[in-house]
Chain A
Amino acid sequence: MAKRNTAKKTAQRKNLYLILTIAFFLAIIAIFVFDGYMGIYDTVTITAAEREDVIEPDSWMRGDYSYYTWVEEGQDINFVYELDNRRFSTYSADVEAAIWFGESKHSDLISQAVAIGSFDKEELAWTIDTTLLRPADIAETQDYEFSVIITRDGVERRIVVHVSSLRPVPSAQIPITLETVKI
């Protein structure tokens, strides 16, 4: 009888270790899901003419430093920067966006302090008119690029905008010589 009880206890303990193993495994999966969901996520939506580009938070996390988009000169380009606070506390930060040409800052777009409640979102929007952006040293027939850099709380998001010139390129002055062909 005592032997049977001991065997039963051993079997129970063996199962207990197996159950604990499964419980730990499920807890790890739960942490992956929970921790992956929590945090501060930012999404940028760029609208130019009829085209809408959405830069999801995943694309920043993948380590892509820059995101490229394009617009035709003279068109407005609209930006919507959405901050999603998936935390139990309020998120406060200073959000700044500016236009940069290479290493030199051209102009500020927004500079705003935000305080987002837990599990809440906030959107910041601005529009860039590409008519007046062309640098003086770039010919009107040439395309050019500028960057929109969004910074908040030590995080930098860079979006490179390619502006296509609508001016036709003048045809090159190629000398044409006519030769008489004798048949």
Chain B
Amino acid sequence: MKLEYVLFGFGIIFCLAGVGYLAAQYVQYLSELGQLISLLLTVGMFTCLGKYFERVGW
């Protein structure tokens, strides 16, 4: 049971790292305005995600 959670954890970390790496590569080609808007949207996204998990009871 615990091993499964560890594997899930690794899977999530690798997924996030992969998406983060691709985003970091692609962000280089965006304009400064695009980068700024993307940053603000990312902040908004994580804020809402945090509020969602808070409401769920995590």
Evaluate contact between A27 and B41: CB separation under 8 angstroms.
Answer: yes
**Which listed residue, A10, A24, A25, A35, touches B34 by the CB 8 Å rule?**
A35
Interface size on B, residues (CB 8 A): 18
Residues A28 and B52 in contact, CB atoms below 8 Å apart: no
Chain A positions within 8 Å of B31 at CB level: 35, 38-39
B interface secondary structure, majority = helix
Q: Mark B12-40, 1 if CB is under 8 A from A, else 0.
A: 00000000000000100111011001100
Flag if A31 contacts B38 (CB, 8 Å): yes
Number of A-B pairs, beta carbon distance below 8 Å = 49
Question: In whole angstroms, how far apart are the Cα atoms of A61 and B30 in the complex?
Answer: 11
Chain A residues whose C-beta falls within 8 Å of the C-beta of B26 in the assembled complex: 32, 36
Q: Is the interface of A mostly helix, strand, loop or mixed?
A: helix
Decide: B30 and A35 in contact? CB cutoff 8 A: yes
A14: nearest chain-B partner, CB-CB: B55
Also in contact, A36 and B30, with CB within 8 A (given A13-B55, A24-B41, A28-B42): yes
Complexed CA–CA distance, A17 and B54 (Å): 10
Q: Is A132 an interface residue (CB 8 A)?
A: no
A20 at the interface (CB under 8 A from B): yes
User: Once the chains bind, are A18 and B52 in contact (CB under 8 Å)?
Assistant: yes
Query: In the complex the two chains form, is A36's CB within 8 Å of B45's CB?
Result: no
In the complex, the answer to whether A21 meets B30 with C-beta atoms within 8 Å is no
Roughly how many angstroms separate A20 CA and B48 CA in the complex, as a whole number? 6
- Determine whether the beta carbon of A24 is less than 8 Å from that of B44: yes
| A38: nearest chain-B partner, CB-CB | B31
* Known A14-B52, A21-B49; contact A61-B42, beta-carbon cutoff 8 A: no
Task: Name B30's closest neighbour in chain A (CB-CB).
Answer: A35
Decide yes or no: A28 and B45 within 8 Å by CB, A36-B30, A38-B31 being known contacts.
yes
Contact A28 B41 (CB under 8 A): yes
* Chain B contacts for A34, CB-based, 8 A: 34
A14 to chain B: which residues have CB within 8 Å?
52, 55-56
Q: List 13 A-B contacts (CB under 8 A).
A: A10-B55, A14-B52, A18-B52, A21-B45, A21-B49, A21-B52, A24-B48, A31-B30, A32-B38, A35-B33, A35-B34, A39-B31, A61-B29
